[in-house]
Chains A and B, each alone.
Chain A
Amino acid sequence: MALPAYQPADALQEGQQYLTFSAGGETFALGILHIKEIIEYSRVTRVPMMPGFIVGVLNLRGRVVPVIDLAARLGREASQVHKRSCIVIVEIDDAEDGQRRDLGLLVDGVSAVLEIPEVEPPPSFGARVRTDFIRGMGKLDEHFVVILEPACVLSVEEMAQLARLADQRPALPQLPDAR
């Protein structure tokens, strides 16, 4: 079911090879050293009362891994799951306890592993993505691709904060005539 994990062929420096994928109709890139594996979309268990960008949890060989809808996290519309949908398993450092955690990213499809030799600094404004989410702009032929900064996009701290706000919304009244 799971595709084989991408193994860097030889000792590659971070910043040289990137995985590109599409989310919300745009292409993004993520440094390959953060990526553990790419799996097909399989059943994700929804966690009620969580903000929209948290899709739910997934069983990854006996471990419970949260799955984030990348498009929704970047402020786009929630992804629709279709045949090419993938879950990219990334490893992130939890800033608070210093432990490494796995996190699934729901994307519309993965494209390629590319070498991006030229990386420009992020524009100070104008990008449709929060500036602190951008590590840099990778130059591909004639156009640029947004290279995401996983420490910010996937900050457990910030996402947990958002989840807390979502959870504190008053629950819906339970009377039938109220709905």
Chain B
Amino acid sequence: MNLDMALQTFLGESRELLTDLEDGLLGLSGDAAADAERINAIFRAAHTIKGSAGLFGLDAVVAFTHIVESVLDRVRAGDCTIDEALRTLLLSCRDHIAELIDACAAGAPPAALLERSAALGTQLQSRLATPAVVQAAAQQIEPRAIATTTDGHWHVSVRFGSEVLRNGMDPLAMLRYLGTLGTIEHVATLTDAVPPLAELDAERCYLGYEVTLRSNADATAIADAFEFVREDSLVRVLAPDCGSDAYLSLIRELPEADDRLGAILLAAGVLSPAELDAGLTRQRQLDTTEVPGHQPLGHILVAEQGVSPAAVNAALEQQSRARGSEHRQIRIGADKLDELIDLVGELVIASAATSLRATHSRDAELIESTQALGALVELIRDSALNLRTVPIGETFSRFRRVVHDLSRELGKDIELVLNGEDTELDKSIVERLADPLTHLVRNAIDHGIEPVEARLARGKPARGTVMLNARHDSGSIVIEVQDDGNGLDAERIAAKARERGLLRADQTPSEQDIFQLIFEPGFSTANAVTNLSGRGVGMDVVKRAIEALRGTVEMSSQAGAGTCCSIRLPLTLAIIDGFLVGVGDGTYVIPLDQMVECVELGGSQASEARRNGYINLRGRVLPLLHLHEHFAADGARERRENLVVVNHAGQQAGLVVDRLIGEFQTVIKPLGRLFAAASCFSGATILGSGAVALILDIPGLLAQSSGAGERAAA
């Protein structure tokens, strides 16, 4: 890996860490146990950024982050609590670190940035130099949780992982830190793993230590000294008075020869020669007679009554949590992934062509094997597309910051509630969703939620709520931005629309249709903002962004009770399950997830359908669209037509087609800008025969035909 690539990785990682840091800061809730965890995460993030920045020689970042880290360290130690002012300060520090990293990576940071470093640094320093009296008082009120066990001899065994030095960690610093927890009475350095000089890699760490520590700290505090190397190093902490068996199992667990470790422990004075001999013999017997393998360390500790079972459980839980939060991930470039998805798309097309040929050949065995192949291709397609999906939660949580900053700015008290953060969707959609969502959230805060006095006067809680919801719904994903604020005033919007010529004086649309008007470009002027309590600022931009993702956006509102903007998006932009239908001599694809059922239109029903433009489907009126006429298709109409019932956003309609062909895995190919106006087609695909088929855009088609219906009626 060359340095440039490494730097890119560092930039990516530090962005993620800064996001973690922000999430942590905004997530602090006042619940001591949960907050301690968050503060640790915040500290870890800052520490890692400092370490990695040091590797790249980004000194400005290191210097600044160091101050932040020092403050966080004091918070971690309980010397200082994060109040609102400090949180805001730390958030601006976070932003500053982000800027610094970008600037340093691009070259030398500009002087203005460094000045800002100094200014923020001074503010942070003032936090560091809290007067001693206050500190002492704080300590009296909140005694440090560490002092639980009595003074005793702890035994710490560490085998550092080989990558420790490369990761920017310093074993010596950790031992020094250990020294601050108590008195180090004995240290044995294990150099057994050091290879001959010729094979020695100066950047690898080969060292291990056996340390005897006299301290009154608890096991977690001591183990935490090695927090940053826990992943790839072997760290064992034995409590004072834990009994000889614990030591014996430790001896067996460590990589070095038993006798050698025994000698070290003897030298450290934790075991007597007799105990060692007896223990080793006993354990050998245990091994041969009872259980193969070792008794877990925890059991021994509990059996010897050195530690309470609760303490062991707590330690284990913490360990598993630390491990669980480390996502096992591989970083790959987005272009590589896109290439893979493209290839899978070609594979899907080729496989469709093969199965078509196989069906024509009437060779049963060939058909069977192409079917098996097809099933596999489908699985590959699904998992390839899955690679690109990410939970929406990452996008949602960035709004914590938006809400935090804006509510401070506007002096409103607003809570952000997130639902369905686990809902997954295509990464390329997520990226293009951030801007429109930000717009909607800002709108909700700025114009939706009323000032506190107004809320109280209306009998609402003083604290306003903005909700972000995500969920799956019949093959699409629905994202809602909801607030419990003012609501939209349909009257005023209609009046404004008439004034702007968007609505004729004699038109009286439904409330729902009026709300849709705020997405019209005419509403996005400054004048409209003030007159209309601001709703509609650039809402046309939001609508366009969503439509570019083949999605739809809808407003609903109840005056005085709140507004909800729901965005409906397709799950993926690349491949869908489709259903092929024939209209005239053309073939079209209907997205399968929007299909409800297929019905054959028999003789009398067909003529009724043609006469009325709707049919009675099991007691419900189903509006129809005759595609043959709508598309002015060439070719004769079939005698027996078929009806495909489609569903979009709760609205059902029937498409009358000439032929039903069957399911088809559809690789979406964009139609290009030339066909931007063709709102009833969302793209094209290539059939097994090599011909191109158009993919019907159901919402576009329905909107078009209902528009045509209104025109015809007018």
Question: How far is it, in angstroms, between the C-alpha of A53 and the C-alpha of B572 when the chains are bound?
Answer: 32
Distance A176 CA – B346 CA, assembled complex (angstroms): 43
Hey, which chain B residues are within 8 Å of A4, CB to CB? none
Q: Is A57 an interface residue (CB 8 A)?
A: yes
Residue of A nearest to B686 (CB): A59
Alpha-carbon separation in the docked complex, A16 to B331 (Å): 50
Q: Is residue B704 within 8 Å, beta carbon to beta carbon, of the partner chain?
A: yes
Question: B626–A62 contact, CB under 8 A?
Answer: no
Q: Is B613 an interface residue (CB 8 A)?
A: yes
Cβ contact of A64, chosen from B629, B669, B711, cutoff 8 A: B669
B673 at the interface (CB under 8 A from A): yes
A-B pairs with beta carbons under 8 A, tally: 101
Once bound together, how far apart are the Cα atoms of A101 and B632, in whole Å? 29
Interface stretch of the complex, out of A7-15, A23-31, A143-151, A166-174: A166-174
Chain A neighbourhood of B712, CB < 8 A? 170, 173-174
Q: Do residues A48 and B669 form an inter-chain contact, with CB atoms below 8 A?
A: no
Binds A, one of B35-43, B85-93, B111-119, B674-682: B674-682
Which single member of A47, A50, A62, A163 contacts B349 (CB below 8 Å)?
A: A62
Residues 348-374 of B contacting A (Cβ, < 8 Å):
349
Q: Which residues of chain B from 683 to 710 have any CB-CB distance to chain A below 8 Å in the complex?
A: 684, 686, 690-694, 704-705, 708
Instruction: Give Cα A56 to B681, complex, Å.
Output: 13
Closest-by-CB residue of B relative to A58 is B692
> In the complex, what's the smallest C-beta–C-beta distance from A150 to chain B, in angstroms?
14
Known contacts A46-B634, A48-B633: does B686 contact A160 (CB below 8 Å)?
Answer: no
B630 within 8 Å of A by Cβ?
Answer: yes
CA distance A59 to B693 in the complex (A): 10
Contact of B671 with A171 in the complex, beta carbons under 8 Å: no
Cβ of A54 within 8 Å of any chain B Cβ, yes or no, is: yes
Is B204 in contact with chain A by the CB < 8 A criterion? no
A72 to B679 CA separation, bound complex (whole angstroms): 23
Q: Judging by beta carbons under 8 Å apart, are A45 and B674 in contact?
A: no
Query: Is A49 touching B673 in the complex (CB atoms < 8 A)?
Result: no
- Residue of A with least CB distance to B611: A176
In the complex, the answer to whether A163 meets B671 with C-beta atoms within 8 Å is no
**What is the CA–CA distance of A74 and B119 in the complex, to the nearest angstrom?**
67
Contact B692 A45 (CB under 8 A): yes
Shortest distance in angstroms between A41's beta carbon and chain B's nearest beta carbon? 14
A173 and chain B: residue at smallest CB distance: B712
Minimum CB–CB distance from A52 to chain B (whole Å) comes to: 12
Contact B669 A164 (CB under 8 A): no
From A64, A94, A179, give the contact of B686 (CB < 8 A): A64
B176: interface (CB < 8 Å): no
Give the residues in chain A near B678, CB-CB below 8 Å: 47, 49-50, 163, 167
A153 within 8 A of B: no
Q: Which residue of B lies closest to A66 (CB)?
A: B674
Question: Which listed residue, A48, A64, A156, A179, touches B673 by the CB 8 Å rule?
Answer: A156
Q: Is the CB of B691 within 8 A of A163?
A: no
Whole-angstrom CA separation of A88 from B546 in the bound complex: 36
Least distance between B538 CB and chain A CB atoms (Å): 21
Set A43, A48, A174: member contacting B613, Cβ < 8 A: A174
Please tell me if the beta carbons of B631 and A59 are within 8 angstroms of each other in the complex. no
A residues within 8 A CB of B681?
47
| Chain B contacts for A59, CB-based, 8 A | 686, 690-692
Tell me how far the C-beta of A91 lies from the nearest C-beta in chain B, rounded to whole angstroms: 13
Query: A94 to chain B: closest CB distance in Å?
Result: 7
B705 touches A163 (CB 8 A): no
User: Which of B643-679 touch A at CB < 8 Å?
Assistant: 669-679
Cα of A179 to Cα of B704 in the assembled complex, Å: 20
Q: Which A residues are CB-close (under 8 A) to B708?
A: 170-171
Bin the interface of chain A by size: 35 or more
Which chain A residues lie closer than 8 Å to B675 at the CB level? 47, 50, 54, 66, 160, 163
- CB contacts under 8 Å to B, within A40-81, are 43, 45-50, 54, 56-59, 62-64, 66
Q: In the complex the two chains form, what is the Cα distance from A81 to B669 in whole Å?
A: 26
A contact residues around B669 at 8 Å (CB): 63-64
Q: Is the CB of B630 within 8 A of A94?
A: no
Chain A neighbourhood of B349, CB < 8 A: 62
Tell me if B629 and A174 are in contact (CB < 8 A): yes
A122, chain B: closest CB distance, angstroms: 26
Answer yes or no: A142 CB below 8 A from chain B CBs: no
Considering the complex, give the chain B residue whose CB is closest to the CB of A48: B631
Chain A residues within an 8 Å CB radius of B677: 160, 163-164, 166-168
B691 A64 Cβ-Cβ under 8 A: no
- Any A CB within 8 A of the CB of B586: yes
Docked complex Cα distance between A160 and B673 (Å): 7
Decide if A116 is an interface residue (CB 8 Å cutoff): no
Within the complex, the shortest CB–CB distance from B633 to chain A, in Å, comes to: 7
> A49-B680, A170-B708, A174-B626 in contact; A62/B346 too (CB < 8 A)?
yes
- Find chain B residues with CB under 8 A from A167 CB: 677-679
Q: Which residues of A contact B711 (CB under 8 A)?
A: 170-171
Is B323's CB within 8 Å of the partner chain A?
no
Taking each of B631, B674, B679, which has the highest tally of chain A beta carbons within 10 Å of its own beta carbon? B674
Contacts of B613 in A (CB 8 A): 174-175
Residues of A within 8 Å of B498, CB to CB, are: none
- Name the residue of chain B whose CB is nearest to the CB of A101: B672
Pick the contact of A66: B586, B630, B672 (CB < 8 A).
B672
- Which of B675, B679, B712 lies at the interface centre, i.e. has the most chain A CB atoms within 10 A of its CB? B675
Check if A46 sits within 8 Å of B673, measured CB to CB. no
Among residues of B, the one whose C-beta sits closest to the C-beta of A44 is B692
CB of B674 within 8 A of CB of A160, answer yes
Select which of B634, B671, B673 is within 8 A of A96 by beta carbon: B673
CA distance A170 to B707 in the complex (A): 9
Q: Chain A residues near B670 (CB, 8 Å)?
A: 64
Say whether A159 faces chain B, with CB atoms less than 8 Å apart.
yes
Q: Is the CB of A62 within 8 A of B686?
A: yes
Contacts of B672 in A (CB 8 A): 64, 66, 101, 156
A-chain residues with CB within 8 Å of residue B631 when the two chains form the complex: 48-49
Whether, in the assembled complex, B610 has its beta carbon less than 8 Å from a beta carbon of chain A, the answer is: yes
Among B630, B632, B676, the residue within 8 A (CB) of A160 is B676
Looking at the assembled complex, report how far the CB atom of A90 sits from the nearest CB atom of chain B, in whole angstroms: 13
Which residues of the other chain, B, contact A47 by a CB distance below 8 angstroms? 671, 675, 678, 681, 694
Residues from chain B with a CB closer than 8 A to the CB of A43 are 691
With contacts A47-B694, A163-B678 taken as known, whether A64 is within 8 angstroms of B610 at the C-beta atoms is: no
* Nearest chain A CB to B578 CB, angstrom units: 15
- CB-CB under 8 A from B690, the residues of chain A are 59
Measured between beta carbons, the chain A residues less than 8 angstroms from B633 are 48
Residues of B within 8 A of A (CB): 346, 349, 586, 610-611, 613, 625-626, 629-634, 669-681, 684, 686, 690-694, 704-705, 708, 711-712
- Pairs A–B under 8 Å by Cβ, sample size 27: A45-B684, A47-B678, A47-B694, A48-B631, A48-B632, A50-B675, A54-B674, A57-B671, A62-B346, A62-B349, A62-B686, A64-B672, A64-B686, A64-B692, A66-B671, A66-B674, A66-B675, A101-B672, A163-B674, A164-B676, A166-B677, A170-B712, A171-B704, A174-B712, A175-B613, A176-B610, A176-B611
Residues in A lying within 8 Å of B, measured CB to CB:
43, 45-50, 54, 56-59, 62-64, 66, 94, 96, 101, 103, 156, 159-160, 163-164, 166-168, 170-176, 179
Can you name 15 extra interface pairs (CB under 8 A) apart from A63-B669, A159-B674?
A: A45-B684, A45-B693, A47-B671, A47-B675, A50-B678, A57-B694, A62-B686, A96-B673, A160-B677, A163-B677, A171-B630, A171-B704, A174-B625, A174-B626, A176-B610
